[in-house]
Structure 1
Amino acid sequence: MLKVITRKSTALLLGVSVLALSLAACGNGEAKSEQTPETDTEQTPTEEVQEEASTRVLTDAMGHEVVVPANPERVIASYLEDHLVALGIKPAAQWSISDGQGVQDYLQYELKDVPTIPYDLPFEAVMEMNPDLIIVDSASMVEDGKYEQYNKIAPTYVIGLEVNNDWRDELVRVGQVFGKEDLANEVLAEYDTKAAEAKASIESEVGTPSVAAVWLVGGKFFMVAETVSSGAVLYGDLGLEIPSVVKEVSENATGNWNEISLEKLAELDADHLFLINSDTGVETTPLSESLWEANPAVKAGNVHEFSPSESWLYTGPIANSQIIDHVVESLVK
């Protein structure tokens, strides 16, 4: 749970090249009986090229030179599944919490048959998955000798140095690992176009209202920080107004989602609230208290509720694209 609160064409050419080389080798083998012995020596360079083409050496964010398979088939990239799916890659295991009970629900159409692995990647669980490549999204995940342990299991590539790396940079680096830089840039371009169109649509219909995203879980409220997760979508990509309370919380933020008191929430000067409600079905919640009812957006009936199974708690091209859809549907009538 910590990760959620604190806070994703060259390969094809290589595959075609290897296939072509394989066919060439087969052709040479069929003609071998009719050739002189010297012909055998001519096959050695081809075999060497095949061997070289089966891997690439890439430097990760921590400076490790990582020998990456040209076409990895069993990849573990915990909490980067959004990026993998966007690039057409199916991982060998997917991020989960609570013994596999909690997954990234919004990705389950693509990942429904993919086994789960604990979010903190225990060594034994990683070994059981028999990966041929491990990708981790931050240096903090491989501290205290963990990198060396993972690297003994499979080549391990670190995407970024920060706990919260920019998702765009992460996507590009994941694309580089798989030789899909062009596709990653296409995904980014499509997202930016969608965000720009949504921003223009919102502005033409309702201007630039002030908004905030809050998460109710376990009877407590958490507010998204200004520049990360769905905050980056609301204020950065869509250009919506940042309430003063959000700015205040963001200045002291220690993670993606930061606890906010009900008293402070009553002061939140937002025209619209996006509420991610993890306490649906709970008999008693703060939503029935007078302080919640005192919030201006609540009074105005401008609360837009979503379940935690949707993408608001995550980040990446797919998650953020879905958030844009939710915002447009909520604000543009």
Structure 2
Amino acid sequence: MLKKSKFVKVLAYLTLLLAVFLTACGNSSKENSTRTLTDSMDHKVSVPTHPKRVVGSYLEDYLVAVGVKPAVQWSVKNGSGTQEYLKKDLKKVPLIDYSLPYESVTKAKPDLILMGTDSAVANGKYNQYKKIAPTYVVKNGNNVSWRAQFLDVAKVVNKTDKAKKVLKKYDKKVKSARSELEESAPNKSVAVLWVTNNSAFIVSDKSASGSLLYGDLRLKEPDLVKQVSKKATADWSAVSLEKLAKLDADYIFLVNSDKGASMFKDPIWQNISAVKNDNLFQYGDDSSWQYKGPIAYTEMIDNVLKDITH
């Protein structure tokens, strides 16, 4: 009887060891599994099913929105320029220069690299990056909406279901905000300006905050914005003071990166309709107004409602 009891114990122990071993193998297999996806430039990319260290410069809003903390975060001017509105979510995440030097990317030890534009991997750069880690170029270009780009990023990091929930919540907020604006500020026009180095830029109607204001919130677009947007080749287009004098916006949202700019003292600036009527709302570089994504746009909606309806 004693021998039998001992045998049973040994058998139970071996069974337990086997179960632990199989579980470990299963988890290892799960962690090391990959999926083959085709990116915007038709590269066939074998990406980790569950990426752990993602480099996605200027795509941080999308990543954070689906619960992925990137390995590094975008910055300019030796770290002096970062996406401050994501500061809480990106706490302790190391900075990387926006140009993504190969050495810095290698040091980040990524298991997945996401690129936001085709130009970022031009001139042989793609082959350099893919030596470091699987490199996927997300949907981009003038005809690609932020939603399409967001869903593409989510697909690569295996978070599509989460992204759909984020968009559903965002759309609900947009619908509510649109209703409030229609009631409190019917048929009112808005424009977004950015002043830096004593120069003014105006946002395109289909890019960044322009997409939010004129697309999602359906606020009225001034004639000057329409004119500039037709020729726009980037999110922001330079515009002269003389042209701004004709800006027929009821409200102006200003991203002010040059508070001491002499142009603010110019009579032309001071006579712009919205400026003269005290309907100029200023935000700094630490705000979300220069960025895009569900987190940035949610913050902007709150800004718009605070400034226009209250």
Asked if these proteins are the same fold (TM beyond 0.5), I'd say: yes
Q: Which amino acid aligns with 1:131?
A: P
Query: Does residue 115 of the first structure (1) align with residue 102 of the second (2)?
Result: no
Structure 1 CA distance, aligned partners of 2:61 and 2:27? 36
Could you say what secondary structure the match of 1:112 adopts?
coil
Structure 1 CA distance, aligned partners of 2:28 and 2:62? 31
Deviates more, 1:127-136 or 1:60-69: 60-69
CA deviation map 1:172-231 (0-9, x unaligned): 111111211111111111111111110110111121201100011110100001111000
Query: Does residue 314 of the first structure (1) align with residue 291 of the second (2)?
Result: yes
Q: When the two structures are aligned, how many residues end up with a matched partner?
A: 295
Aligned counterpart in structure 2 of residue 264 of structure 1, from 234, 243, 249: 243
| Residue aligning to 1:141 | 120
Aligned counterpart in structure 2 of residue 295 of structure 1, from 242, 253, 272: 272
Query: Does residue 56 of the first structure (1) align with residue 35 of the second (2)?
Result: yes
Q: Which amino acid aligns with 2:65?
A: A
Structure 2 CA distance, aligned partners of 1:177 and 1:27? 40
Aligned counterpart in structure 2 of residue 325 of structure 1, from 302, 305, 309: 302
| Residue aligning to 2:184 | 205
* Structure 1 residues 302 and 50, CA gap change in structure 2 (3 angstroms): same
Deviates more, 1:262-271 or 1:161-170: 161-170
Could you say what secondary structure the match of 1:111 adopts?
coil
| Residue aligning to 1:194 | 173
Contact persistence 1:199–1:238 (CA under 8 A): yes
CA deviation map 1:223-280 (0-9, x unaligned): 0011110001110011111110111111111210111101111110111111111112
| Residue aligning to 1:67 | 46
| Residue aligning to 1:227 | 206
Q: Which amino acid aligns with 1:234?
A: L
Q: Which amino acid aligns with 2:289?
A: W
Contact persistence 1:214–1:274 (CA under 8 A): yes
| TM-aligned CA deviation for residue 53 of structure 1 | 6.1
CA deviation map 1:290-316 (0-9, x unaligned): 001111111111111111210000001
Structure 1 CA distance, aligned partners of 2:219 and 2:171? 16
Structure 1 CA distance, aligned partners of 2:38 and 2:119? 17
Contact persistence 1:140–1:161 (CA under 8 A): no
Give structure 1 stretches of 5+ with no counterpart: 1-25, 33-42
* Structure 1 residues 47 and 332, CA gap change in structure 2 (3 angstroms): closer
- RCO higher in 1 or 2 (8 Å CA, sep ≥ 6)? 1
| TM-aligned CA deviation for residue 86 of structure 1 | 0.3
TM-score w.r.t. structure 1 length?
0.84
| TM-aligned CA deviation for residue 122 of structure 1 | 1.1
Structure 2 CA distance, aligned partners of 1:160 and 1:65? 14
| Residue aligning to 1:5 | none
Contact persistence 2:34–2:46 (CA under 8 A): yes
Could you say what secondary structure the match of 1:311 adopts?
coil
Structure 2 CA distance, aligned partners of 1:303 and 1:196? 25
* Structure 1 residues 266 and 212, CA gap change in structure 2 (3 angstroms): same
